[in-house]
Amino acid sequence: MSRGDIQFGKMEPEVEGQIQWCASATSAPSAAVPELVVPKTQTWSESQAAQLVFADEQHASRIFEHARHSVIHISTVLQQQQHRGGVEAKGAGTGFIWDEHGHAITNWHVVRDAAEIQVRFSSLQPGLYYSASVLGRDAFRDIAVIELVRPSSKVIADALPPLPPPLPRLKDSAGLRVGQRVYAIGNPFGLEFTLTAGIISGLGREIAAAGKRVRPMFNVIQTDAAINPGNSGGPLINSSGQVIGVNCAIASNSGTFAGVGFALPMNSVVRAAEEILEHGRVRHTYLGLGFAPDVLSRQMGIETGLLVLSVRENGPAARAGVVATVRAPNGRLVLGDIVLSLNEVAVNGINDVFRYLENTQVGDALRICVLRNGEKVNLEVELDEAPDMDSLVHAPLRPHHRL
């Protein structure tokens, strides 16, 4: 696959997409074509009509009818600094009901800059909506939990039906296989509750760090089910009607779907949602190290491992005694430790560190093997919760485009 830009499908403006109607060209036939005669009075009973629908089509329709009631259309009003001239800026995305307590899942980039969030279901009459607020987010996995409440308008609140039930979820993403049929439900270009179908095209994909997201996304599902602006945060569903992932991005050079879409797997979503609901945030671990870019290390003759440029004061690595690169009084550069492995897992690139930390928890013990003055040294580290986005190990950020 050629590397197109990874585009996160946030902020579809709430205007109708440009729909191009396809008209067939006409030309003189080379031979007479028999006229197709359809009886004008032809009617079909429900049973006859059902016979015209293939079994797989009936199955897709059943999945859609079962799931669509729990899929939500999210409309946002952006914070004032996001626009000029007093024009109200709006955006849109998708989400789905998570539990019986009014919580829903969407992408963090859908609601990140929202000053106001409104949520609609397919069963709601025009003009009716739920209000929502962000309960917590996982900026690294691009997941947010929002809480739905009845709006302050008593007229609207009294007319709202109860919230729909949560969608069933796949218990373990590890069982997914390439080739499985999948369905995406969302609101592309403002077209509410649209169903698209495809297959799992790949597993274990990685999306590079970009913009405000300083860590890559791991174990991502690739699909050819159409995902477009407005689909972000919507469910990717298997043939059993279970949510297997949250649609989050596409690979495209044009900004529109080109056959390569991505969804965060359910294992990652469940972990983020459970931590948010329990702690109000996701507690990511960090080392407190700044590494030299991989290319620079190789240019300096470091063939394996990662050169430590900086060590965060009082961070996990500092307490363990990891040594940073410094400049001597005479101006000579004194190289710091070279990290070779984490718990005997070799690291030769920045993503190797992120990938290892992805499966750790606050308080976990970690053995770091470093090369110092030509000798290997083992250091014991107890992982801390990352205090903020800028405290984490940074990877070089790649240019990107957002939808």
In this structure, what CATH number is given to the domain that contains residue 111? 2.40.10.10
Task: Say how many domains are in the chain.
Answer: 3
Could you tell me if 290 and 275 lie in one domain? no
Could you tell me if 185 and 134 lie in one domain? no
Whether 224 is in a domain gets the answer yes
The pLDDT of residue 350: 87
The pLDDT of residue 41: 54
Among 141, 144, 161, 26, CA closest to 74: 144
CA distances to 93, 144, 165, 211, 401 from 111, in Å: 8, 8, 22, 16, 18
Whether 7 is in a domain gets the answer no
Whether 47 is in a domain gets the answer no
Could you tell me if 274 and 331 lie in one domain? no
Q: Which helix (H) or strand (E) holds 133?
A: strand 130-138
284 is catalytic: no
Domain boundary among 90, 124, 159: 159
The pLDDT of residue 349: 87
Among 231, 98, 102, 104, CA closest to 167: 98
* Series of mean pLDDT values for 10-residue runs along the chain (403 residues): 54 39 36 52 60 81 94 87 58 94 95 92 88 93 94 85 92 94 94 95 88 81 94 96 95 84 96 93 92 85 91 94 92 91 93 91 94 94 78 33 26
Catalytic residue among 138, 142, 337, 384: 142
Domain boundary among 159, 186, 219: 159
Whether 42 is in a domain gets the answer no
Could you tell me if 249 and 311 lie in one domain? no
Q: How far apart are CA 325 and CA 342, in angstroms?
A: 20
Could you tell me if 150 and 214 lie in one domain? no
Catalytic residue among 70, 73, 103, 109: 109
Q: What is the CATH number for 326? A: 2.30.42.10
Whether 59 is in a domain gets the answer no
Could you tell me if 257 and 271 lie in one domain? yes
Question: pTM for the full model?
Answer: 0.78
Whether 81 is in a domain gets the answer yes
Catalytic residue among 232, 252, 268, 297: 232
Could you tell me if 294 and 316 lie in one domain? yes
Whether 230 is in a domain gets the answer yes
Question: 241-271: per-residue pLDDT in tens?
Answer: 999 999 999 888 877 788 999 999 999 999 9
Domain boundary among 279, 295, 315: 279
Question: 311-340: per-residue pLDDT in tens?
Answer: 999 999 999 999 999 988 888 888 999 999
The pLDDT of residue 211: 64
Could you tell me if 258 and 174 lie in one domain? yes
83 is catalytic: no
Q: Can you give the residue range of the structural domain that contains 75?
A: 67-159
Strands of 175-302, DSSP E: 181-186, 194-207, 217-223, 235-238, 243-252, 261-265, 285-286, 289-291
Q: How far apart are CA 396 and CA 40, in angstroms?
A: 66
Could you tell me if 305 and 374 lie in one domain? yes
Whether 347 is in a domain gets the answer yes
The pLDDT of residue 319: 95
Could you tell me if 268 and 289 lie in one domain? no
Could you tell me if 97 and 181 lie in one domain? no
Could you tell me if 357 and 328 lie in one domain? yes
142 is catalytic: yes
